C-alpha cells in the first residue's frame, strides 16, 4: 500500500517570505511524485513532478521541490510567496511500476499568504 | 488543444436518485481516471479506464460504476444516491497507462450535491 502525509493542514506566510509545504510518502518501490494546486471550485493544476534524475525539480510559477529518498520526503518550496499563491496544495505519489495510473494523494495543505 | 471537459459543472440530486457524470479527455488520450474529493476524506481514487477497459478500481461500493467509450470519453454513474456522495468529482486524462505514463491533466470537476 502507498500513502502520503502532509502534516500541516494550513501554512501561513507573509508575502515575500519563503514558503514551504511538507510532504512525506510511503511506497514499496520507486515513486513518481507530484504537486498540484487547487483554487476554489476548480480542478487540480499541475505544478511539478519528480520522475528520475536530479533531486531538485523546478516547476511552474517559481515553485520547486526536492526529492529526498532517505527521508521519503518531497517538500514544495517557493523562495518568495505571493498573495496569489493562496490555495490548496496536494502532494501525490504513484509507483513507477504500477499497472495503471492510480494516484494516492495527501490530505492537502491550505496556504494563506498575507499581504 | 482543448483541455479536459467535465459536464455538468454542478448537479443537485435527491437521495435515492441516480446520476451520470461525463468526462471528455484531451484528444488522443486513452486513459481517464476518476476521483472523489470531500472535506472529510480528501481525494480518493474511484477507478481508471484505459482503452475502454477498467484498469483499476478504488474502494467504493458497487453503486459507483463507470465506462469508457471508443472515443475515450468516460462516464461515471452513481446509483441510489446518499447524502455522503456529495462531493467534487474530478477526472484526470492521461495519454497512456502504467509505467511509462506520468502525465495527468485534471478537469474542473463536477460538484454533486445530494439533498
pLDDT tens per residue across span A33-63? 999 999 987 899 999 999 988 999 999 999 9
Q: Measured between alpha carbons, how far is B45 from B48 in angstroms, rounded to an integer?
A: 8
pLDDT of res. A105:
97
The mean pLDDT value of chain B amounts to: 95
pLDDT exceeds 70 at position B14: yes
pLDDT of res. B13:
98
Contact of B109 with chain A, judged by CB distance below 8 Å, is answered with yes
Hey, what's the cell of A8? 500541516
> Nearest residue of A to residue B112 by CA position?
A41
Hey, what's the cell of B99? 509505467
The residue behind cell 485534471 is: B106
pLDDT of res. A41:
79
Least confident among A36-45, A78-87, B30-39, B66-75: A36-45
Which H or E element spans position A72? none
Q: What is the pLDDT of residues A15-35, one digit of tens each?
A: 999 999 999 999 988 899 999
Query: Which of A36, A100, A103 is nearest residue B55 as measured by Cβ atoms?
Result: A100
DSSP class of A40:
T
Residue A85 in 3-state DSSP?
A: helix
DSSP class of B95:
S
Of residues A66, A1, A53, A65, the one with CA closest to residue A27? A1
| Helix residue ranges, H only, B1-115 | none
Q: Is B7:B107 a contact under the CB 8 Å cutoff? A: no
pLDDT of res. B17:
98
Q: Residue range B77-101: average pLDDT?
A: 93
pLDDT exceeds 80 at position B52: yes
CB atoms within 10 A of CB B11: 17
Is the pLDDT higher at A97 or at A105? A105
Query: Are A98 and B42 an interchain contact pair (Cβ–Cβ within 8 Å)?
Result: no
Q: Is B106:A44 a contact under the CB 8 Å cutoff? A: yes
Contact of B68 with chain A, judged by CB distance below 8 Å, is answered with no
Name, in order, each residue with C-beta under 8 angstroms of B83's C-beta and a sequence gap of 6 or more.
Answer: B15, B114, B115
Q: Measured between alpha carbons, how far is A45 from B29 in angstroms, rounded to an integer?
A: 18
pLDDT of res. B1:
63
pLDDT band at B99 (very low <50, low <70, confident <90, very high): confident
pLDDT exceeds 70 at position A4: yes
Amino acid at each position: 500500500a502507498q500513502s502520503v502525509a502532509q502534516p500541516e493542514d494550513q501554512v501561513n506566510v507573509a508575502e515575500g517570505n519563503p514558503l514551504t509545504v511538507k510532504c512525506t510518502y510511503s511506497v514499496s518501490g520507486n515513486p513518481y511524485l507530484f504537486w498540484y494546486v487547487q483554487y476554489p471550485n476548480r480542478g487540480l493544476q499541475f505544478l511539478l513532478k519528480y520522475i528520475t534524475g536530479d533531486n531538485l525539480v523546478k516547476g511552474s510559477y517559481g515553485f520547486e521541490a526536492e526529492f529526498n529518498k532517505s527521508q521519503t520526503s518531497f517538500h514544495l518550496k517557493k523562495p518568495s510567496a505571493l498573495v496569489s499563491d493562496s490555495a490548496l496544495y496536494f502532494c501525490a505519489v504513484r509507483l513507477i511500476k504500477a499497472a495503471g495510473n492510480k494516484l494516492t494523494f495527501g490530505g492537502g495543505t491550505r496556504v494563506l499568504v498575507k499581504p | 488543444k482543448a483541455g479536459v471537459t467535465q459536464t455538468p459543472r454542478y448537479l443537485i440530486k435527491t437521495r435515492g436518485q441516480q446520476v451520470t457524470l461525463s468526462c471528455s479527455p484531451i484528444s488522443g488520450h486513452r486513459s481517464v481516471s476518476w476521483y472523489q474529493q470531500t472535506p472529510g476524506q480528501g481525494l480518493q481514487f474511484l477507478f481508471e479506464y484505459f482503452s475502454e477497459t477498467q484498469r483499476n478500481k478504488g474502494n467504493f461500493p458497487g453503486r459507483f460504476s463507470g465506462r469508457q467509450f471508443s472515443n475515450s470519453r468516460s462516464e461515471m454513474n452513481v446509483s441510489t444516491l446518499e447524502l455522503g456522495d456529495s462531493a467534487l468529482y474530478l477526472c484526470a486524462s492521461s495519454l497512456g497507462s502504467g509505467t511509462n505514463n506520468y502525465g495527468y491533466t485534471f478537469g474542473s470537476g463536477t460538484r454533486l450535491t445530494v439533498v
